[in-house]
Amino acid sequence: MLLCEPVCCYFATANTQPAMKLNKKNCDLKSCSMCRQCQPDWLPALDTNRKSFHFKKGEQLFTEGEKVTGMYFINKGLVKVHKRWGNDKELILRIAKDGDIVGHRGLGDDEFYPVSGTAMEPTDVCYIDLSFFNSTLRTNPDFQYNLLMFFAAELKESEKRMRNLAHMNVKGRIANALLYLEKKFGKDKDGYIHLSISRQDLASYTGTTYESLFRIMNELVAENAISTDGKKTQIVNATLLHEYMEQN
């Protein structure tokens, strides 16, 4: 598939995809976690080494199993990070938004992405190749420390979800996911969770099938725990959702 020698990795290394579109619009060097946490005098180097890309809805930033080439910082957009099973199942591990870093799961001895990253809506990113990223780590202790703390937080979160997957029933997991998503993405003026996600993706995120999710969402609507309008979901009775999380 990908016979990416050092050379080809310099320009647009990211993937085998149609070739990513370079974007004129760079980030402001102030918003993403890397820019914020690096020393001011490192910013020019950062500016030189970053590339801006745009991804359309459904396009992959990176693909599970491919060689790790760099890290992405989401300028504006939404990216799901997912891991597949067999060839028709997957689990969504994370939904990243503006300001989030993506692709960092590629760090470590194993040089292949353990997951894929796919744009859920049109997305602008800053891309930093791996070697410059490593230089940045070496040169910016604060950034490195913060990244460490970020990994620690993600590990905690991951293990909590793992526990939930093992012991919570589907209804509890869905309740949990809705509460989490509302917290992470906030609500729009009408009170709907500020995230447009397909049922299929929501099912993959909670580790269940579309059909089960569908049935249980209907139940939740009937019980007046939530209300829905197309792809938008609103939490009506958070207390009830919390109760579902306890049981079983």
Partner DNA sequence: CTAATTTCATGACATGAATCATTTAATAAT
Partner DNA sequence: ATTATTAAATGATTCATGTCATGAAATTAG
Chain residues in the site for DNA (CB under 7 A): 57, 169-171, 198-200, 207-212, 214-215, 218, 231, 248
Rounded CA-CA distance 168/165 in Å is 6
Q: How far is the CB of 70 from a second copy (least distance, A)?
A: 15
Looking at the Cβ atoms of 52 and 140, the one nearer to a second copy is 140
Q: How far is the CB of 183 from DNA (least distance, A)?
A: 23
User: Which residues of the shown chain bind a second copy in the complex (CB under 8 A)?
Assistant: 1-2, 83, 85-86, 89, 91, 93, 104-105, 107-110, 114-115, 137-138, 141, 144-145, 147-149, 151-156, 158-168, 207, 246
Looking at the Cβ atoms of 85 and 229, the one nearer to a second copy is 85
Looking at the Cβ atoms of 164 and 234, the one nearer to a second copy is 164
Residues pairing with 190 in the sheet: none
**Half-sphere exposure (Cβ direction) of 85: Cα atoms closer than 13 Å:** 8
Q: CB of 95 within 8 A of CB of 195? A: yes
Q: How far is the CB of 216 from a second copy (least distance, A)?
A: 16
Judged by DSSP in three states, 31 sits in coil
Among candidate residues 57, 60, 32, 66, the one with its CA nearest the CA of residue 46: 32
Q: How far is the CB of 185 from DNA (least distance, A)?
A: 17
Looking at the Cβ atoms of 28 and 88, the one nearer to DNA is 88
Residue 165 binds which entry of DNA, a second copy, none, CB below 5-8 Å type-dependent = a second copy
- Element at 49 (helix H, strand E): helix 43-49
Residue 158 binds which entry of DNA, a second copy, none, CB below 5-8 Å type-dependent = a second copy
Question: What are residue 32's phi and psi, to 5 degrees?
Answer: -75, 165
- Element at 102 (helix H, strand E): strand 101-102
In this structure, the number of other CB atoms found within 10 A of the CB of residue 153 comes to 10
Q: How far is the CB of 211 from DNA (least distance, A)?
A: 4
In this structure, the number of other CB atoms found within 10 A of the CB of residue 99 comes to 15
What are the structure tokens assigned to 52, written together?
């801006």
Looking at the Cβ atoms of 68 and 170, the one nearer to DNA is 170
Residue 83 binds which entry of DNA, a second copy, none, CB below 5-8 Å type-dependent = a second copy
Q: How far is the CB of 9 from a second copy (least distance, A)?
A: 9
3-state DSSP helix/strand/coil % of the chain, to nearest 5: 40, 25, 35
